[in-house]
Amino acid sequence: MKFNIFMDTQVYEKQGFNFKSNDLSRLSKLVRQTNDVRIFLGEFTEKEVYNRIHKKIEKVKSQVNKVRDIHIIDKNSAFLKKWEEDIESEELRIKSEFKNFVR
């Protein structure tokens, strides 16, 4: 018996966009091991996943900006600059993991 699975953005979001989560890893492994299961990802869903990842990262950036508003921390501190760079790297890493998951 063959199974076709259509996955919506909510599935990935529920997993915290962790494409190496136990559930998504097991599903990926099942797809690789058998020809009986296929996952379908529409173009709209794929774009929506990237968009939601970006929106989540933007929320994190807004929290960093709130830290900047606390006057005890220098607004130009190396700490905050490094934090921003790390956030940017995280977005790229998460999007790359999604791309690998889709493959």
Residue with tokens 């993991």: 97
For residue 68, what pLDDT is reported?
72
Query: What range defines the domain where residue 77 resides?
Result: 3-102
For residue 31, what pLDDT is reported?
85
For residue 93, what pLDDT is reported?
95
Q: Which two tokens stand for residue 64?
A: 């960093």
> Where in the chain does DSSP place strands (E)?
3-6, 37-40
Among 23-27, 80-84, 86-90, which is the least confidently predicted range? 80-84
CA distance 25 to 7: 14
Q: Domains in the chain: how many in total?
A: 1
Q: pLDDT of 27-85, one tens digit each?
A: 888 888 888 888 888 889 999 999 999 999 999 988 887 877 776 667 677 877 788 88
CA distance 68 to 71: 7
Query: Which whole number is the average pLDDT over 99-103?
Result: 87
